[in-house]
Amino acid sequence: MSPTRRAAVLGSPIAHSLSPVLHRAAYDALGLTGWEYGRHEVGEAALPGFLAELGPEWAGLSLTMPLKRAVIPLLDEITPTAASVEAVNTVVLTPDGRRLGDNTDIPGLLAALRERGVQQVERASILGAGATASSALAALSRICTGEVTAYVRSEARADEMRGWGERLGVAVRTAPWERAAEAFAAPLTIATTPAGATDALAAAVPDRPGTLFDVLYEPWPTALAGAWADRGGAVVGGLDLLVHQAVLQVEQMTGRSPAPLAAMRAAGEAALAAR
């Protein structure tokens, strides 16, 4: 028998995605036996055709790179949160055929920080300037009362981050990557860089660090996160972000709330341990 409802994660590459593990764990915990969550390798060029072929059994999609911006022209509506960073990671497909886009990365970042007791900071640092950095900046616009410093590798990236700051109403100062160790003086540092990019900074972690949010979840812990924890600092990891943003996706796609955070996190941890 075919499932009554379907959802999936799309992107390229996509084989590494933990989203199926998290969403399926939620379906099991919620008793949604008629739901299926898949994984599809889809690039920008193939996205319009993929969406056009979706039938009424489809409830929603999770999107990763390179689709978060490419999908926007294909949607009927996006939320203010998604519009603020021009990035959609969640598409809800309504029974009347509408495609509604949202960004759960931003509230997911905030929820992961709240879980570690970070409600507000007077200043913060961001390592990197990619798409995740803009989401981090959007999250900081809600909890940071002072300046955000972004450590970047090029003047073009610096201009981009200052532009996002103006758009989001955040005071953003930029500094070259060569000075990235200075980021650790802030009470909150968010690392948004690819695997290995911050390894050389591990030796620069101060004796009494604040909070580190490292958005990677594999490999884990990163060299930076390990050194941070060894010095007694609070560490928020990429799995925390992934789980919290997936919780919001499950709630939107299924209409069931609250989503089972603990069951989803446990499934994610088990999947990572088995890799």
**Strand, helix or coil at 7?**
strand
What percent of the chain is modeled with pLDDT above 90?
96
**What is the rounded distance in angstroms from the CA atom of residue 50 to the CA atom of residue 113?**
35
The helices-and-strands tally (H runs, E runs) of the chain is 9, 12
Q: Which amino acid is at 182?
A: E
Class of CATH domain 107-236: alpha beta
Q: What pLDDT score was predicted for residue 2?
A: 54
Q: What is the pLDDT of residues 19-28, one digit of tens each?
A: 999 999 999 9
The CB-based long-range contact list for 159-165 (8 Å cut-off, 24+ gap) reads 160/129, 161/126, 161/129, 161/133, 161/134, 161/137, 164/85, 164/133, 164/134, 164/137, 164/138, 165/137
Q: What is the pLDDT of residues 144-160, one digit of tens each?
A: 999 999 999 999 999 99
- Taking alpha carbons only, the member of 134, 63, 109, 80 closest to residue 243 is 109
* Number of alpha carbons in the 13 Å side-chain half-sphere of residue 269: 8
**Structural contact between residues 237 and 260, judged by C-beta atoms closer than 8 angstroms:** no
**Residue 260 in contact with residue 26, Cβ under 8 Å?**
yes
Q: Is 68 a catalytic residue?
A: yes
Encoded amino acid at 118, one letter: V
Q: Binning pLDDT at 50, 70 and 90, where does residue 131 land?
A: confident
Q: Report the share of the chain in percent with pLDDT over 70.
A: 99
Name the strand (E) or helix (H) holding 229: helix 223-230
List, by residue range, all CATH 3.40.50.720 domains of the chain.
107-236
Token digits of residue 240: 């925390």
Task: Give 78's strand partners.
Answer: 101
pLDDT at position 4: 87
Domain 5-103+240-273 has CATH 3.40.50.10860: yes
Residue of 5, 6, 68, 157 marked active site: 68
Q: Residue 10's beta-bridge partner residues?
A: 40, 63
Tell me where in the chain the CATH 3.40.50.10860 domain(s) lie: 5-103+240-273
Q: Are 161 and 129 within 8 A, CB to CB?
A: yes
pLDDT exceeds 90 at position 206: yes
Alpha carbons 4 and 35: distance in angstroms, whole number: 6
Cα→Cα distances 164→61, 136, 170, Å:
26, 11, 8
Confidence of residue 237 (pLDDT cuts 50, 70, 90): very high
Rounded Cα gap, residues 182 and 55, in angstroms: 51
pLDDT at site 130: 85
Residue 140 contacts residue 57 (beta carbons within 8 Å): no
Confidence of residue 3 (pLDDT cuts 50, 70, 90): low
Q: pLDDT tens across 34-90, in order?
A: 999 999 999 999 999 999 999 999 999 999 999 999 999 999 999 999 999 999 999
